[in-house]
Structure 1
């Protein structure tokens, strides 16, 4: 009879998979606050665009943003960072920003976000 080959994961393979899995989990846990802030900004920009469609001025929209950002704990974007324009009878609000998420030691993850009221 021939030799039987064992199947399965070796100890080295298991350790390697565990290390990769731990690093992926670390990345996910560290990026959750940035994603949560992005989702809050999407919601705020949508509400502000509706207010702008109802006649609010850019200055009023910036004040409203400041109040809402404080409530939702948005710190990466200030009211002055918002690009507010009127296109026909629609208010379009956009903002681009970056967020640096520290991972391990001097390794960081840079995430670039674009928030817009165009796709509402």
Structure 2
């Protein structure tokens, strides 16, 4: 009789792989709100730049950003944080901000976001 070797993962390796997967999922779930906010800011900045091209004043563009940001639950950036300039006859709206995402205990992730309507 020949003995066949069993193949597969041992209990310890299943626990290690499961722990790593749980950690990756934790990071992913914690970063989703920051990414969603970034995408909302990016969309709002482009809309505000279009309003500027349509003749809106700086104050109107900042207020528009604040209104739209309130609707989309943007809390990291306000209209006062925007850098608004005119380049080659087009209004360019930019924002730079950081978002700290707590992971576990005293461990956090820090995201630095840069948004521009110029599409750089």
- TM-score, scaled to structure 1: 0.93
State the match for 2:47 in structure 1: 47
For 1:3 and 1:114, locate their aligned partners in 2 and report how far apart those are by CA, in whole Å.
62
Quote how far apart the aligned CAs of 1:6 are.
2.7
Quote how far apart the aligned CAs of 1:7 are.
1.9
Instruction: State the secondary structure of the residue aligned to 2:60.
Output: helix
State the match for 1:63 in structure 2: 63
CA deviations 1:73-93 (Å, max 9, x no partner) are 100011111010000211111
Any gaps of 5 or more consecutive residues in structure 1? none
Between the two proteins, the alignment pairs up a number of residues equal to 120
State the match for 2:113 in structure 1: 113
State the match for 1:21 in structure 2: 21
Any gaps of 5 or more consecutive residues in structure 2? none
Structure 1 residue ranges (4+ consecutive) displaced by more than 3 angstroms after TM superposition:
1-5
Quote how far apart the aligned CAs of 1:21 are.
0.5
For 2:111 and 2:86, locate their aligned partners in 1 and report how far apart those are by CA, in whole Å.
28
Which shifted more, 59-68 or 2-11?
2-11
Instruction: State the secondary structure of the residue aligned to 2:22.
Output: helix
For 2:25 and 2:83, locate their aligned partners in 1 and report how far apart those are by CA, in whole Å.
35
Cα RMSD (Å) of the superposition?
A: 1.6
